[in-house]
Structure 1
């Protein structure tokens, strides 16, 4: 039901009821403006685009926390999202009403974050923000997302420069003996850090010289380390073990026997990443004279070995557990041998017979005979 009534003071009061029966009204000085507003609201109701103005009065923080509680995230992802919102979004937008956040507010937040954070991190924060506002649109809390059209800082992807063999050897020597096999395992299989720290003895097949990756160790503050599925379904894989890795693991187990986790602390507990980085990894890098090297650098080293020895993109993808070949190429395409010479050879082989004659011969062929056209 919709109508327009003229009030005693000469203003016009259009009103209508939404799908829930709630009445909405406004006041206009001109009847034409009242009719236009009523037509817009009626059209929005008919097309299913109507949003109750009161629905967006909840604060962004309140809505975001409800949204966060309903997401099906891995524990690490859930913790990451909570940290990003608490540190980078709530200080600026948390107390604003959901429906009052403007595109300029989002752009201003991005600009401010860009002063202190890497472009990739700013992009992560914006994706979380956009996901929340997209959900708010679906919930009919707001008409449109203020994240649309945001200009983000450009992410400059750095080319991977793999470690040298000498650097890997120096790092291995600098590690405490208890963790030297961890470096060999990383360099010889390309496993992610969580996959290695979560590796249990029953996942290693010494007879077939292979190991199964189907779990990773998750370490979070204020919670005991626990096993969880790997990063993606593509990360579930069987990795062949080179003999050098088999020997290193066998020596490790001979020295530090284990029933469950292959690598543990001196007390036999699962290894926490932060403690390992502080007490083991960084001191070892210093002793080896290395800088800017992470556990992931050993994964890049492994990939570079496969590429150098002629493995295909699909093989490298499978060994590393990448979700797609595109991900592998985006990361390592510059490491594949340059194909310029093969391109030249292919074209020359196909079109060689059409090669132009030397200029001297061509001129001799085209030179006039000396006789006239009549003669």
Structure 2
């Protein structure tokens, strides 16, 4: 229970200080008042907040955003290597320069809104701003749970509208043009990707032991993540992880033609079971192939040479794989498992990405209508 301490001020007047005990049993002051009744009410309010778990230590909010985010929030998270590296990059490049010196308790919804306005002015895309805001919201949500602040200033932030652009899927003919334009040493890489739909990290982590030549399958058991050295927990830029995304290895059936191509590659390079199939240099026991190096030196020049007139990433071969499967009549569940998606909603988006999806829908409607009228 709270209590009141009376004392005589320098002017001879009686002052009443409200006292209470915080959740840790420490004696605290709830302020000094002119009357005992006001002091009792103040002490009672603090007692109530301690009892119902809503009490906030005013001193806790004095910690700066940078101190809390880097020393408390980030170390407490259980994150994938790439996610942690991304968060460190976001803090360094987007949040610490703006919020770093501010005390947590002084950051208001208007402060966060001002950051959004600045980000828009700097040319950040609405999608990027929304992604960064999710992380910022998480930082403040943890601070609320830690009783550092009373509310999350990221609630109800007005974010720029994300306009979803219609996905342009690579056609088989366009893929053949890109394949012809890429240097011969990377053709097996592209053929493997278009037939399996692997993510980049899964693709460059493939080794001969992952290929079953009798059953004509490829098993995805590893992935290689590429991070900045300054954000890497080991100081290494290429990190091999034992399992791909979602921690679920998966086995994919492939064509005999691709099996023959991979077998020829293994024999030509003299690769051992544990060597990388697609190393940075065409040698056994080579280092992992860097996505950035591949994109700059080989992929983009090939796209230009092939005459592709829309933005095309290497990752879009994965999208093409899924769309071609669905266009050919594969069911959603099979495609979901082949792609390694955790949710079928992710796979469904490729139904709407097909260039003739609308025409097929209209044809199905007309077919049903004709049957009903006959």
TM-score computed with the length of structure 1 as normaliser: 0.86
Quickly say closer, same or farther: Cα 1:346–1:31, change in 2 above 3 A: farther
Q: Which residue of 45, 48, 58 corresponds with 1:43? A: 48
Q: Is 1:286–2:293 an aligned residue pair?
A: no
- The residue number in structure 2 matching 1:181 is 188
State the distance in 2 between where 1:104 and 1:52 align.
23
Q: Which residue of 249, 260, 269 corresponds with 1:247? A: 260
- The residue number in structure 1 matching 2:27 is 23
State the distance in 2 between where 1:54 and 1:332 align.
54
Q: How many positions carry a matched residue from both structures? A: 351
State the distance in 1 between where 2:252 and 2:201 align.
15
Q: Which residue of 104, 111, 116 corresponds with 2:117? A: 111
- The residue number in structure 1 matching 2:88 is 82
Q: Is 1:164–2:182 an aligned residue pair?
A: no
Q: SS of the counterpart of 1:87?
A: helix
Task: Verify the 8 A CA contact 1:160 1:300 in the aligned structure 2.
Answer: no
State the distance in 1 between where 2:240 and 2:119 align.
34
- 1:73: how far off? 1.0
Moved more, 178-187 or 248-257: 248-257
Q: Which residue of 290, 293, 311 corresponds with 1:272? A: 290
Q: SS of the counterpart of 2:338?
A: helix
Quickly say closer, same or farther: Cα 1:149–1:40, change in 2 above 3 A: farther
User: Within 5 Å, which residues of 2 pair with 1:361-372?
Assistant: none
Task: Verify the 8 A CA contact 1:190 1:298 in the aligned structure 2.
Answer: yes
Task: Verify the 8 A CA contact 1:119 1:153 in the aligned structure 2.
Answer: yes
State the distance in 1 between where 2:348 and 2:35 align.
63
Rg comparison, structure with higher value: 1
- 1:206: how far off? 1.7
Structure 1: 5+ residue stretches without partners: 354-375
Quickly say closer, same or farther: Cα 1:165–1:20, change in 2 above 3 A: same
Task: Verify the 8 A CA contact 1:60 1:93 in the aligned structure 2.
Answer: yes
Deviations 1:294-327 (A, max 9, x none): 1111111111211111111112211111111111
Structure 2: 5+ residue stretches without partners: 230-235
Quickly say closer, same or farther: Cα 1:257–1:29, change in 2 above 3 A: farther
Q: SS of the counterpart of 1:227?
A: strand
Quickly say closer, same or farther: Cα 1:159–1:257, change in 2 above 3 A: farther
Q: Is 1:232–2:246 an aligned residue pair?
A: yes
- 1:221: how far off? 3.0
- The residue number in structure 2 matching 1:371 is none
User: Within 5 Å, which residues of 2 pair with 1:314-353?
Assistant: 314-335=333-354, 336=357, 338-343=360-365, 346=368
Deviations 1:93-139 (A, max 9, x none): 11111122111111111222123211121112111111111111111
Task: Verify the 8 A CA contact 1:200 1:262 in the aligned structure 2.
Answer: yes
- The residue number in structure 1 matching 2:58 is 53
- The residue number in structure 1 matching 2:211 is 204
- The residue number in structure 1 matching 2:76 is 70
